[in-house]
Amino acid sequence: MKDLKLAGLKTERSTIEVNGVTIGGQEIILMGGPCAVESSLQMSQSAETVKKAGGKILRGGVFKPRTSPYSFQGLGLEGLNYLVQAAKEQNLLCVTEVVDAASLELVAGKVDILQIGARNMQNYELLKLAGKSKQPIILKRGLSATIEEWLLAAEYILASGNPQVILCERGIRTFEPSTRNTLDLSAVGVAKELSHLPVIVDPSHAAGRRDIIASLSKAAIAAGADGLLIETHPNPDEAVSDGPQSLTPEQFIELAGQLAVVAQSVKRVFRFGGQETLGDLRSQIDIVDQSIIELLADRMQIVRKIGDQKRLDRVKDTSRQNEITQRLMNLAAERQLPPDLVKRIYPLIFEYAVQSQIKSKLAQDQELEAALYPLGSK
Ligand code: PEP
Ligand code: MN
């Protein structure tokens, strides 16, 4: 896609490090909290819920861009203090939405991540200001924005000097009235195909109803999302905004408890309760072990191709083996691994590589012979 000069796909995916939390790495990052900050108690209860679930980031809007001018517009600075304080109590990071230059200036440096909402995705002056900020930006997809428009909005922020953009799919407007919006999970795959930026999913604003948030969240992880942004409220029936889509604390924690297996099935990790249990650590090891075998299989395949280009008496190349071993021993030392490990493992890998080259070469020779002398007579 043209003009995605900075947001376009590079060889490596970007991860965003924010005060000890990595977004876009192997771990699925859960963010949760109410739509709007209402009170100090509501925020400390929400923070407790997010923490118990293993969430890392507390959300809460203090400047609310509401569809109706008569709806609650947010508590502003007072709310910001409740959000920051509650996050601090539970050792969580926090995110809030900015809507203009004044709100950006007010929250800058106080929260860990700034959010640009769906309604402001094409507010180019705001995007440029966010680009001047040093803080990570969650950029929601606009209500009716194409993926290209969304990525170009991200490009505005990147082009203005801020490389830390997290894309957030939050549902788009369609003809379907049974949900508030339609969660476009294909957008996760497409955005990750076109861009190196992390992509998270907000199922709450997509669904508009709490009964399908759990299944959409799991589907989002399966679709490749790097994180989830989910609304939860200590008492959704009394929420000043988005109550019907907010999970109760119990539902939020229950959902989080189901995410680890889904994450594992797509080679990702989610740490329920924030703690690394023995089971979590074992599943991380299983993922690494699987990658080791897959990489060894890839190596063997390349080795066979090389073998096909060599003469049978040149299959074993000791000086090349020594060179590889030495290089990997140095690398091992750099990564705090005993170099001796390389010295012991690699001779085996070389031995099987040579055997497989010989086998593949002999099979090739036999095939050639059969083609040349179909009747078996030389
Ligand atoms: C929000 O996250 O509170 C919000 C208003 O979301 P969106 O901009 O996606 O509607
Ligand atoms: Mn909301």
Full pLDDT tens readout for the chain, 378 residues = 889 999 997 788 999 999 999 999 999 999 999 999 999 999 999 999 999 999 999 999 999 988 899 999 999 999 999 999 999 999 999 999 999 999 999 999 999 999 999 999 999 999 999 999 999 999 999 999 999 999 999 999 999 999 999 999 999 999 999 999 999 999 999 999 999 999 999 999 999 999 999 999 999 999 999 999 999 999 999 999 999 999 999 999 999 999 999 999 999 999 998 566 777 678 778 878 988 999 999 999 999 889 888 777 777 889 999 999 999 999 999 989 999 999 999 999 999 999 998 888 888 888 888 888 887 655
Predicted TM-score (pTM) above 0.85 = no
> What is the position in ligand 1's atom list of the atom closest to the CA of 61?
3
Q: DSSP class of residue 65? A: -
Tell me which residue has its CA closest to atom 4 in ligand 1. 117
Place of tokens 């003809």: 175
Q: How far is the CA of 359 from the centre of ligand 1 (A)?
A: 60
CA-CA distance, 98 to 117, in Å (whole number)?
A: 8
Q: What are phi and psi of 55, to 5 degrees?
A: -70, 160
Sheet strands (E) in 92-210: 93-97, 113-116, 137-140, 165-169, 199-201
Query: What is the best residue among 71, 97, 166, 229 to mutate for testing ligand 1's pocket, by most ligand atoms within 8 Å of CB?
Result: 97
Using a 6 Å cutoff on CB, does residue 117 contact ligand 1? yes
* Domains (range + CATH), the chain: 16-275 (3.20.20.70), 279-374 (1.20.59.10)
Largest CA distance in the chain: 94
Closest of 114, 112, 156 to residue 137, by C-alpha: 114
Tell me which residue has its CA closest to atom 6 in ligand 1. 117
- Whole-angstrom CA distances from 198 to 12, 87, 192 are 11, 23, 7
Using a 6 Å cutoff on CB, does residue 205 contact ligand 1? yes
